[in-house]
Chains A and B, each alone.
Chain A
């Protein structure tokens, strides 16, 4: 079979691969959105006055950053639904089942949350103390001070870290193929198995991932121009 026929739609593997690519993209985007929000909340909790909450959240972030991502994905896939059923059985709720996609999504979000909390914590503490003091002395409520003063400033410190995490997360999504999610990697493996042309398909996947990281770099340049435009006058 000629090289291009392998990637043709219909008889070839083009449509399957495209579908797999979208599953990967879907996982990465939703995992990033949920995880980043989780990370922001975790960072706020870690920095809060509540010692126990802070310690628990720090433990969560430390654990998920020290254990292989693959292990977290397997643990959630094999044991996640069972654990939830054990927990909620006494409440008389129905049994839950995790699809591989859902288990993968939860695992990716939890991992992203752990890393993002670290980024947000650093960014929030990097905001000069005088800023929140000034907000307080102007009579802003704590919530308003956080929303209009601290967080917008912290976001600027967090941006490089957050973009970096996006690149890392895209690469982590490849691991969900191990629990049977029909993502980009798994479709390529199936295509390779059927055509005995593993090299071609995995090379294509590799190029697609490279393109994704190249695209992220371009986006990062544009984003940082927008985020740091207040510094434009100061640039020499």
Chain B
């Protein structure tokens, strides 16, 4: 039932190397996903209607279905086409890790594009107008005014997306990538201990998410002075008020 002490100690290096693969998958997915998502978000808010519809279709198509199907479609579907097997793309598509990265980043790009597009719409137009009035070139208005404010607004939703990507990478274990989830399953198949490896892997995921959320809260407070002010004001105001204990605080 439960594994021996020897296999318990032998288990950790395997989990750790799996965890590194998980981190690698997460970071690459986030980076590529962001690179795709930003242009899509801009297109989603663009003045040209075809661009807006194309961006909407992209978001619907990559966000709607489960990432597992998208991954299977690439991993099992691509080798069936001879023209893919004969092209340079085959070098990439025959590697399950690369297939996972492609599927995850397209899927995540759909979610991130929607987050960024929403954030872009919520940047107060007065700021951009002020920058234009001050004689900023359009590209500088975008990079120096719109983009930073968009980042602040999007940060909370984006933080949730990071957690979803981290959890979602576990699906890669279903196409033979040995990430943290895959390593835990391998250990289970070797030891027949259904609890220890999976719970250990679960703890690693949990601690990672927990630390990530703490860091994100820090970053958010640093980037959003208005939250800081409101939170401080609320602390001062609370003793006099009759708000219930668990009223949502400014940060929530």
Whether B209 contacts A66 by the Cβ 8 Å rule is yes
Whether B66 contacts A171 by the Cβ 8 Å rule is yes
Taking CB atoms, residues of chain B closer than 8 Å to A185 are: 66, 68-69, 72
Whether B72 contacts A198 by the Cβ 8 Å rule is yes
A79 at the interface (CB under 8 A from B): yes
Interface centre among B61, B64, B195 (most CB of A within 10 A): B64
Taking CB atoms, residues of chain A closer than 8 Å to B209 are: 66-67
Whether A209 contacts B246 by the Cβ 8 Å rule is no
Interface residues of A in 24-77 (CB under 8 A from B): 47, 63, 66-72, 74-75
Main secondary structure of the interface of A (DSSP, over half): helix
Which 3 pairs across A and B sit closest by C-beta, in order of nearness? A79-B194, A199-B77, A198-B76
Whether A71 contacts B205 by the Cβ 8 Å rule is yes
Whether B199 contacts A175 by the Cβ 8 Å rule is no
Interface centre among B67, B80, B202, B244 (most CB of A within 10 A): B202
Interface centre among B69, B73, B76, B170 (most CB of A within 10 A): B69
Taking CB atoms, residues of chain A closer than 8 Å to B80 are: 196-199
Q: How far is the CA of A185 from the CA of B173 in the complex (A)?
A: 16
Whether B60 contacts A71 by the Cβ 8 Å rule is no
Main secondary structure of the interface of B (DSSP, over half): helix
A181 at the interface (CB under 8 A from B): no
Whether B76 contacts A192 by the Cβ 8 Å rule is yes
Q: Give the contacting residue for B170; candidates A70, A170, A174, A197; CB below 8 A.
A: A70
Instruction: Decide yes or no: A71 and B61 within 8 Å by CB, A125-B246, A178-B174 being known contacts.
Output: no
A96 at the interface (CB under 8 A from B): no
B34 at the interface (CB under 8 A from A): no
Q: How far is the CA of A122 from the CA of B65 in the complex (A)?
A: 28
Q: How far is the CA of A69 from the CA of B209 in the complex (A)?
A: 14
Whether A78 contacts B194 by the Cβ 8 Å rule is yes
Interface residues of B in 206-252 (CB under 8 A from A): 206, 209-210, 242-244, 246-248
Q: How far is the CA of A48 from the CA of B115 in the complex (A)?
A: 34
Q: How far is the CA of A210 from the CA of B72 in the complex (A)?
A: 16
